[in-house]
């Protein structure tokens, strides 16, 4: 977290310096009559702003993968709460509490496609979510569903090849179970196996884990 804070601070300072150079050029355009002024104007109004915006876009994209970002919309609060359910059958909770996913990027780790532009597609959907948040009818948390069935690839990204996954007796109930799972023909989460996911509708009866020392 400290590194992220320092990176953001450096970026803000860099942007401020670029803005000051632009302001100087804007307030004293007569500087551009000299050769040095022309170079200053080109660097200040063309090259440095591009660099600043590129760095800002990177920072914003990185931040948008954080758990804090995902849970900043009120409708997501229950999903965040479900990560602390004290019940090992809750798949997201057991992953979050045991550091099987990075806690600061917990949502993003399981909810984006592992493709080159997966996060950009997620951003486009995110824009739609913001529109619904402010201009549409916000659904109840328990009515929020995935756009497409959960892809086993997101599980196998980490579990494939793991000894505990491949040798678990429950994964050999049928001879081709692992192959069917790898081919995404048998869902990990909706085939009666690991089907307790966020279950935000039942949180009222749940007990919650309290991390020693506060946790995240």
Partner 1 sequence: MTADTSTIERRIRWSGMLVVTGLVVQMLTLLWTHPLAFMCFILVGCPLVAAGILFYLYSLASHHTS
Give CA 166 to chain center in angstroms.
28
Identify the DSSP state of 208. B
Per CB under 8 A, which region of 47-55, 97-105, 108-116, 193-201 contacts partner 1?
A: 47-55
Residue closer to partner 1, measured from CB, 120 or 208? 120
| Distance, CA of 202 to CA of 198 (rounded, Å) | 9
Closest separation between CB of residue 83 and partner 1, Å? 18
103 binds partner 1 (CB under 8 A): no
Q: What is the dihedral of CA 56, 118, 153, 194, to 10 degrees?
A: 70
Contact between 50 and partner 1 per CB under 8 A: yes
Taking CB under 8 A as the rule, does residue 26 contact partner 1? yes
Measured in whole angstroms, how far is the alpha carbon of residue 50 from the centre of its chain?
A: 25
List the one residue from 1, 27, 116, 124 that touches partner 1 (CB under 8 A): 27
Q: Which stretch binds partner 1 (CB under 8 A): 69-77, 89-97, 114-122, 205-213?
A: 69-77
Q: Is residue 68 within the footprint of partner 1 (CB under 8 A)?
A: yes
Residue 26 CB partners (closer than 8 Å, separation 6+): none
Give the DSSP per-residue string, 107-131.
Answer: HHHHSS-SSTTHHHHHHHHHHHHHH
Quickly tell me which residue has 């493709």 as its tokens.
115
Binding site for partner 1 (CB under 8 A): 8, 11-12, 15-16, 18-19, 22-23, 25-27, 29-30, 32-33, 41, 44-46, 49-50, 52-53, 56-57, 59-60, 63-64, 66, 68-69, 72-73, 123, 126-127, 129-130, 133
């Amino acid at each position: 977290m400290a590194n992220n804070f320092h990176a953001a601070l450096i970026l803000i300072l860099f942007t401020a310096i670029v803005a000051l150079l632009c302001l100087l050029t804007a307030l004293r355009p007569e500087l551009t009559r000299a050769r040095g002024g022309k170079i200053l104007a080109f660097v200040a109004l063309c090259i440095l702003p591009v660099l600043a915006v590129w760095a800002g876009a990177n920072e914003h994209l990185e931040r948008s993968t954080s758990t804090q970002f995902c849970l900043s919309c009120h409708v997501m609060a229950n999903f965040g709460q479900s990560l602390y359910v004290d019940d090992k059958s809750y798949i997201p909770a057991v992953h979050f509490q045991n550091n099987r996913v990075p806690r600061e990027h917990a949502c993003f780790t399981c909810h984006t496609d592992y493709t080159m532009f997966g996060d950009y597609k997620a951003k486009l959907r995110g824009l739609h979510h913001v529109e619904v948040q402010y201009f549409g009818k916000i659904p109840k948390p328990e009515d929020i569903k995935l756009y497409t069935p959960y892809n086993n690839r997101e599980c196998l990204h980490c579990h494939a090849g793991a000894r505990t996954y491949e040798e678990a007796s429950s994964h050999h109930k049928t001879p081709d179970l692992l192959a069917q799972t790898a081919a995404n023909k048998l869902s990990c989460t909706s085939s009666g196996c690991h089907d307790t996911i966020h279950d935000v509708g039942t949180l009222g009866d749940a007990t919650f884990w309290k991390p020693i020392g506060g946790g995240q």
